[in-house]
Amino acid sequence: MNQSMNQLNELIEITRDGQHFYQHALTEVKDTELQHLFRDLAQAKTHIIQALSVKVAANHQQPAQGGTLAGSMRELYTDTRARLGDPDKVYVEQLEQMEDRIVQAFEDALSAAEPDVRALLAIELPKLRACQERMRKLRGDL
């Protein structure tokens, strides 16, 4: 597998971490507005994963199917913290950090990507930044 496709698969895994985390969090929080927001943000991640997967598959490679160990560990850590405190606040805080991680990974990849991959990342990055901003605003409101 070439470097560009490895890079895209890493981004798929990191984005899937966010998708899974939002899906999990929406079952853990009680606030219906948060549940709706988390569902929307999980869906946004799904669309980005699909776009990246299409590019990987078009290059005759297998798109990544899972997430990362770091993503699983963050979810476990958050579940533990949520049991000890305010679940809504804990999930919002941790999901905002997850958004930061995803955006940083895309920005890092963008600077080193080949032109065709750079074009794809440039399309998807504003969507991720919008998700990140929604979480930042939400965290600031809590």
**Helix or strand (DSSP H, E) at 78:** helix 69-84
d(CA 118, CA 122) in angstroms, rounded, equals 6
d(CA 93, CA 89) in angstroms, rounded, equals 6
If you classify domain 3-141 with CATH, what class do you get? mainly alpha
pLDDT per residue as tens, the chain (142 positions): 588 899 999 999 999 999 999 999 999 999 999 999 999 999 999 999 999 999 999 999 999 999 999 999 999 999 999 999 899 999 999 999 999 999 999 999 998 889 989 999 999 999 999 999 999 998 887 7
Task: Report the Cα–Cα distance between both ends of the chain, in Å, rounded.
Answer: 44
d(CA 68, CA 124) in angstroms, rounded, equals 20
User: Domain residues of the chain, as ranges?
Assistant: 3-141
